[in-house]
Chains A and B, each alone.
Chain A
């Protein structure tokens, strides 16, 4: 599938998010996979994007501080009292 339809690296780097979301057309997906077969530069680039996503996920959850939770529960209790009456 060489020739005019071939994807170049400069186009590839703009399609990484679409590709990882499975949002490419069937044709573009073919072009991406075909390009990756031939281009370890772009394979590294895509791995870098994947690593970026994984590292972002590794930020974990923002914890709920005890003092915040205590305030929220007090808030909720007074609200709930009005609900039940």
Chain B
């Protein structure tokens, strides 16, 4: 992230503000979408966030990064709009340690005997994906859909890490969870999305739409 000039921002410099907005807009909008019922509400949430950011600039102490601080404001604004008052999002253990939820269902592995723990049938390679551009684009769309279906905390982590490219440390700081917990959420999220893609790739051409992950 480019260094935004806080001094210039506080001074009311328009270019500094436009630079900052351009930097964080994608992240803000995507975070807002996690809590908002529509794009229109998400856009309003983002606008309201910027008002709060400008009014709160004097009080920004620089303990967290500017980007983290702005995103925390956004999550508060979004949750308040959605009628959820508490920002203190404790690490949602139900989302991270879903009982019986593993990266790959247990029945994909041999359950007993000398081959216990090994694949029942070996996963196939997706190596054709990068070669087939049309398929790639289709899969990007499918990934977007699968991410949209995730529980909120998993969706937050995978959006920030894999879609928006934040580091593990930044995500942990924003969500106020340990790097380990952040990784558990990311693991759950990636597992669901991978499984969704796997199912999608296994489908015959032009099937009737079937939700691959039962809720």
Contact = CB atoms under 8 A, between A and B. Distances in A.
B13 to A, nearest CB: 8
Contact of A56 (B104, B106, B126, B163): B163
B187 A76 contact: no
Contacts of A18: 183, 187
Interface of A is mostly: helix
Nearest to B162: A56
B152 interface: no
A41 B140 contact: no
Interface string B57-75: 0000000000000000000
A83 B12 contact: yes
Contacts, number: 141
Contacts of A21: 168, 183
Interface in A41-75: 41-42, 44-45, 47-49, 51-53, 55-59, 61-65, 68-69, 71-73, 75
A36 interface: no
B134 to A, nearest CB: 14
A80 interface: yes
Nearest to A22: B168
B190 A52 contact: yes
B17 A9 contact: no
Contact of A52 (B54, B119, B165, B194): B194
Interface in A2-52: 8-11, 13-14, 16-18, 21, 23, 39-42, 44-45, 47-49, 51-52
Interface of B: 10-14, 17-18, 21-22, 25-26, 29-30, 43, 46-47, 50-51, 54-55, 102-104, 106, 109, 116-119, 122-127, 129-130, 136, 139-140, 143-144, 147, 158, 162-163, 165, 168, 179-180, 183, 186-187, 190, 193-194, 197-198
Given A14-B102, A41-B123, A72-B47, 10 more contacts: A8-B118, A13-B104, A52-B162, A52-B197, A55-B139, A73-B17, A75-B51, A80-B13, A80-B14, A83-B11
14 contacts: A10-B118, A13-B102, A13-B104, A23-B183, A41-B119, A52-B190, A52-B193, A61-B26, A73-B17, A76-B54, A79-B55, A80-B13, A83-B12, A84-B12
